[in-house]
Each structure stands twice: as structure tokens, then as C-alpha cells.
A and B are shown apart, each in its own frame.
Chain A
Amino acid sequence: MAELLAVRGLRVDFVTDRGPAQVLDGINLDIAPGEVVGLVGESGCGKTTLARAILGILPATAARIRGGEVRFKGTDLLREDPRVVNDHVRGRAITFIPQDPFTSFSPVFSVGTQIMDLMKWKSPLAGSRPAALFGRYPRDRRRADHDAVLETLRAVQMPEPARTLRRLPHEFSGGQRQRLMIAMALLPRPELIIADEPTTALDVTIQAQILRTLRALVKERGVSVLFTTHDLGTAHEVCDRVVVMYAGQEMEAAPTEAFFRRPAHPYTRRLLDSVPGPSGELRDIPGEVPSLVAPPPGCRFHPRCDYATAECRLDRPAARLLAAGHGVRCHHPVDGESTRETGARGVSARAEP
């Protein structure tokens, strides 16, 4: 199935005062080449942790990888030599767009310095030289890189690219800084970009523009993106496929259309229902996000699920394929069109303690 990225059974614990919190519980995730995959979930569901685990930048002291694999083009990044991963994968084949553009630049160096430092080590023209503090930067390559930088800055619609390089990060707005981040993520010519809630910190009015720019560019270059967000609207805008996470487990994965039209997982349905409708009514999901130190057994959503049975409390559901590319982990997937689309009254909310 030539997946670009295949995460299998990844389990990550975080160390807390009250014992290990099982932040990721055997997660599976696939990303095909050239595909934009949205990872959707409430805050605390583990999507950032998953993004960081793939990049390999989990805090060494606080996080512990308990098992599973992260296969990138066949190689398990978790078991590969860390230096090789750092030199050849990170910043080259897999790049990163962070959530907060306001603090992701060093405030004391110019934008140009920071981008050119990146190009010095990660430019597609660099070849495979091992990293060191005083590497050589041949003049002709530097010039070629510089041109590529200017071209990419124009592609992300930064006005006056040459002047931009001379300025300091704080002289730019959030939206502009995020465009710079997008440019930096594209310059090494990666195969996969991990974008961790890239528009959350931005003004609503700017979000759509940035998303459109990002999608246009990655589609043009055939780059895959793992796009985490808690906003369903964003996922709908940008993604080819959507994966829903809840409390460290993936619940459903489907192509965008199918996801929004025929959601099969009760949680997905609830999520879609909780978005304010045309008449403005808001339907919350009753209950609370579970504690990860002592998570509910079986399917972690069962305490809040209308359809939960004994089976749900005992066994974590296996992944089931409902249609082409539409997988769900549920003992009782829901049939039929989403009530959102048809406007019909949904399932009556039976209070579940």
C-alpha cells in the first residue's frame, strides 16, 4: 500500500505526579504520498503528542514511548540511529510548521539569518554531509539557496522578499510569520509536513487565507501534510482525509466528504452536532474528557456514548472498514447520513452518567 507514513500501535506515557498518564494508546495512522490528512480532536486528546512523537521531539524526561512503530518510507524512526534521523529526516524529508508563530522565531536574529541557517544544513542542494558547528557553506550553493528562498517567499505571498530577510521577526504580523513558517517548511523540499494547529494562534480573518495558501502550495508540490486541529471547519477546508482522535485513541478515519456526510462513530457524530447549526442551536457532548492516568477500559469514549454496551467497556474495538478508505473503531457504528446535513432531529440524548 506504499504509505508514506505508517504509525502502528504507538503508545506514549507522560510522567505525572499521580503516575503515568497514557496519552497515546496504541494509535494507528496512515498518510499516503501527496495526501493532506487532518487530525481532529479536542484539546488534550493527544494530537500534538502524536505530531511530536513522529518528529521525535518529545521531552525526554517527561515522555516515555512504551511501544509501537513510526514507519516513514519503510524505516522505523523510533529505532533508527538518532543522528541519522536528525540529519536526514528531520528538516529534510519531514518538516514542521509550529502552532505559535509569535515565539517560534529567535527574537534576536534576523529572519534571513534564521532561514539561511536552515538552508545551510537542510537545503535540497546540500547533499548528505554530517552536521557540525562550523560546516562549510560554498558560495555558489549559498547563492542558489538564496534564490530559492526569495522564490519561495514570493510563493507564500510575502511582499518584498529581499527586505523581509533583513528584518527581525517581531516586525511581522502573526499571519506573515506563519507564511514564513510555511516557506521554511517547503524549502528543504520535504515529502511530509507536520503542521501542528498552524492557524489556531491567528486571527479568524487571516486563517482562511493562510490555509488556502498552504493547501495550494502543497498540492502543487505533491507534499503530504499531517494537519492537527481542533476546528472541524478548518479540517473541511484543507484536508483530503480526516482522522478523529479521542483521549489518545483514534476513532474514525475517512475521506473528507464521507467524514462529514456519513460519520459512523458516535463521537464523530457528536462532534459534528456540537458545531452551532444554522438556527444557532448548540448541542454539547455531555460528560467530561477522561483522566489519562486512570483511563476507562475498552473504548475510551464509552462513558459518554449513547450506544455503549458491555462489550464497549471490555474490549477496545478493532478497526473496521466501512467503505473505501473509511475506517472506524466502534462496536456499534452509526448508520445513515449525518443529521447535520439533512437537518432532521438527531438521536435523542439519553443521559449517560
Chain B
Amino acid sequence: MRLLALLLRRLIWFVPTLLGLLAVTFVISRVIPADPVALVAGETATPAQVEALRRQLGFDRPLPVQFADYVARLVRGDMGTSIFTRRPIVEDLTHRLPATIELTLAAMVVSVLVGIPLGVLSALWRNSILDHALRIVTVSGLAIASFWLGIMLQLLFAMRLGWTPLNGRLQGFPPRPITGFYLLDAALTWDWSTFGGALLHLALPAATLAFPALATLVRFTRAGVLDVMQSNFVLYERAMGLPRPLIVWKYILRSALTSTVTQIGLLFGILLAGAVVTEAVFDWPGIGTYAVNSIVRSDYNAVMGFTVWAGAIFIVVNLLVDIAHTVVDPRERAT
């Protein structure tokens, strides 16, 4: 079956691609800086202390050996220890993962629920005021720097109006951890005041993250709908007097969405990338801030760990998108 063949092909490439990614980051982190160990040891360390550290970290062995060793550990699920937090990196990442996922999912939900209908309306009422307004939004969406948008939103809503908190994920105690997602956990434990707090904290970062995604979705949905509106089957349905809402929201949207679904998958990737910067602006305790902090502190193992994780996620997401596309477009499925 076609789906199986696709899956197999992708899986075969998964490992080499990931290895390649690792190699690139590995080289960058070990080869290019003058002496990563010295950087880690700090300026006050004596040469003897630096050497001791080098032996301890295993940086004195030849590079290929270091790389092989790293990969071997990776397969066992060991990403090494963060030089800064002194904890296993896998632990650090897992601890911070839910925060990033919650933010990214919230942004995606917002952009899909708002973006797709707006795109449809924009296409239906072409050249209306709504359409022109949305055009402006779409174009700006991809031109505004996320971090600047975040700062401006903070300025307006948190500082001037005081409607939302300034940053962070929650003030006070987090809800009982069931899933790690504050909103879900608070709702499940009927802790509505925490739910409200978490929601308010989520509002600005999610809006900032969602904005470019929303802009893209409106654009693509609009183009897709306009395209499908010219189809012969739409003409047929109109000729047979089918109710307009049925034609638009069932038949046109469904055909237009086959291309949008792939967009949603790619969107996830873009959102994840945007999350890094957005988290930095809002002090969101997720993987993005972890990555940035690790980079700034020259915590190379942590950087590698993050890169591996991010790369793997991306490749998986791309695979899922391909699968989704095949599912959504039944023509591909049936052959």
C-alpha cells in the first residue's frame, strides 16, 4: 500500500538525517570555538584545572571517538548532563516540555479556529472591507518581528491596561500535575482560579506566537477557497440549487482544506521555531528559554540535546504531515 511505502521510505531516512544533524551541531560545538573546555571552566581556572576538566569531560579523546560515544549514549537515552543545572539533560527537557507544548498548541488552536473561517469569509466577500482589512493583517503578520510584537503587547495590555500579567506561566502554585498542562490540569481538578490565572498568563504569549501563523492560514485558506470556487463541481452544485452554506462550508472548504492541512503541519514547525524567541520575551519556562540560556552559557551538551530533540520533532512532524495529506486526499489513498 502506498501509505506503507511512504512511511518506510521516510523512516529509513530518519536516522541518517538525524545523524547528519548531530554531526553538524557536534562539529560546530567542538571544533569551532577556541577551547570549549576553557570557556566552561571559566576565566579564573588554572591550566591544570582546565586539563583536569577536559579529561573529566572526555574532551581529550579524538573527535570521531567523542562523536561515536555521544551517539551510543543517545541511543540509550542519555543526553549527558547539563553543565549548568548539573542535571541530566533529558530530565531538563522533559521537565520543560509541557510548557512549550501548551504554548504552541494554544497558539495553533487560536490560529486555526480564527484563521480558517476568516480565510473563507475573505474569499467569499472578495474585495469587501473585511477582505481588505484581512489583507493588511496577513501582510503585516509576516513582517512583524515576533519579539517586538510580544513587547508591544506587554506594553499595552500588561503595563498600561493591566489586563494581563507581564510574564511567566503562573503566579502562585501550579495545579496538581496530571498532564503537565496547566490549563488541562486545573480544569481536571476543578481548580478554576488557577485555570483563570494560567489562561491570563497564556494569553499574550499565545497571541504573539499565533499572529504569523494566523496570517499564513488566512492567506492560504483564502487562496484555496478562491481556487475551488472556480471548480466545475461547485458550478454543478449551484446549478442544482443546493443551499449556499452547504456548498461553502461542506464542499468548498473541504476541498480547499486539503492544501491547508499540510500547511497546519508546517505551521507547527514554524510555531516551534517562533516559540524560542517568544519564550525569551515572556520568560516562559519552556524548552525555548532553556535552549537560549544553554547557548548563552556555553552549555554545549544542553545545546546538542536541544538540537537533537528539535530535529527529531521536526522530522516526525513532517512525516505526520505527509501521512495526514495522504489521508485527507482520498485520491492518494485509493491508488
Chain A positions within 8 Å of B, measured between CB atoms, are 52, 55, 57, 85-87, 89-92, 95-96, 98, 100, 103-109, 117-118, 121-122, 131-133, 135, 168, 170-171, 184, 194
Contact = CB atoms under 8 A, between A and B. Distances in A.
A118 B242 contact: yes
Interface residues of B, number: 25
A134 B6 CA distance: 39
Contacts of A131: 242-244, 246
B245 interface: yes
B173 interface: no
A117 B330 CA distance: 19
Interface in B160-211: none
Nearest to A130: B243
B254 interface: yes
Interface in B78-104: none
B236 A121 contact: no
Given A106-B251, A106-B254, A106-B255, A57 B243 contact: no
Nearest to A55: B239
A330 B246 CA distance: 48
B334 A133 contact: no
Given A57-B238, A98-B232, A133-B249, A107 B243 contact: no
B76 interface: no
A214 to B, nearest CB: 17
Contacts, number: 83
Contacts of B231: 103
Interface of B: 231-233, 235-236, 238-246, 249-251, 254-255, 258, 328-331, 334
Contacts of B254: 106, 108-109
B329 A170 contact: no
5 contacts: A86-B243, A89-B241, A91-B239, A98-B236, A107-B233
Given A57-B239, A91-B241, A117 B233 contact: no
Nearest to B249: A133
Given A98-B232, A117-B250, 18 more contacts: A90-B240, A98-B235, A103-B232, A104-B236, A105-B236, A106-B251, A106-B254, A107-B330, A108-B258, A108-B330, A117-B242, A117-B246, A118-B240, A121-B246, A122-B242, A133-B249, A171-B334, A194-B239
Nearest to B238: A57
A108 B246 contact: no
A105 B243 contact: no
Among B236, B244, B245, B334, the most chain A Cβ lie within 10 Å of the Cβ of: B236
Nearest to B236: A104
Given A108-B329, A168-B330, A132 B245 contact: yes
Contacts of A87: 241
A179 B239 CA distance: 18
Contacts of B238: 57
